[in-house]
Amino acid sequence: MSEILQETAPRKRMLSGIKPSGDLTLGSYLGAVKNWAERADQFDCYYFMADLHAITVRQNPADVRRRTLEQLAQYIACGLDPEKNTLFIQSHIHQHAELAWVLNCYSMFGELSRMTQFKDKSAKNEDNINAGLFTYPSLMAADILLYQPDLVPVGEDQKQHVELMHDIARRFNGIYGDVFKIPEPFIPKVGARIMSLTNPGSKMSKSENEDTGRVLLMDPPEVVMKQFKRAITDSDSEYCVRYDKENKPGVANLMTIYAAVTGKTYEEIENEFQGKGYGVFKPVVGEAVVEHLRPIREESLRLMKDKAYLESVYRAGAEKASYVAEKTLRKVYKKVGFVAK
Q: What's the rounded Cα separation, in Å, for the pair 97 and 105?
A: 13
Q: What's the rounded Cα separation, in Å, for the pair 179 and 122?
A: 33
* Residue 121 among the catalytic residues: yes
Q: Which of 19, 121, 248, 282 does the annotation list as catalytic? A: 121
**How far out from the chain centre does Cα 208 lie?**
16
Q: Which residues contact 174 (CB under 8 A, 6 or more apart)?
A: none
Q: Which residues contact 182 (CB under 8 A, 6 or more apart)?
A: 166, 169, 170, 173
* Residue 84 among the catalytic residues: no
Q: Which of 203, 229, 245, 307 does the annotation list as catalytic? A: 203
Are 228 and 261 in contact, with CB atoms under 8 Å apart?
Answer: no
Query: How many Cβ atoms sit within 10 Å of the Cβ of residue 279?
Result: 10
Q: What's the rounded Cα separation, in Å, for the pair 132 and 100?
A: 11
Q: What's the rounded Cα separation, in Å, for the pair 103 and 142?
A: 7
Are 333 and 103 in contact, with CB atoms under 8 Å apart?
Answer: no
Q: Which of 19, 34, 206, 248 does the annotation list as catalytic? A: 206
> For 278-320, what is the HEC assignment?
HHHHHHHHHHHHHHHHHHHHHHHHHHHCCHHHHHHHHHHHHHH
* Residue 203 among the catalytic residues: yes
Closest CA to 166 of 111, 89, 101, 93: 111
Paired residues of 213 in beta bridges: none
Q: What's the rounded Cα separation, in Å, for the pair 194 and 109?
A: 32
Output the CA angle 124-193-152, nearest 5 degrees: 95
Provide the H-helix boundaries in the chain. 26-28, 34-37, 51-54, 61-77, 95-104, 109-113, 116-124, 131-134, 136-145, 159-176, 221-229, 249-262, 266-272, 278-304, 307-336
Closest CA to 23 of 92, 74, 62: 74
* Residues annotated as catalytic (active site), given as ranges: 121, 203, 206
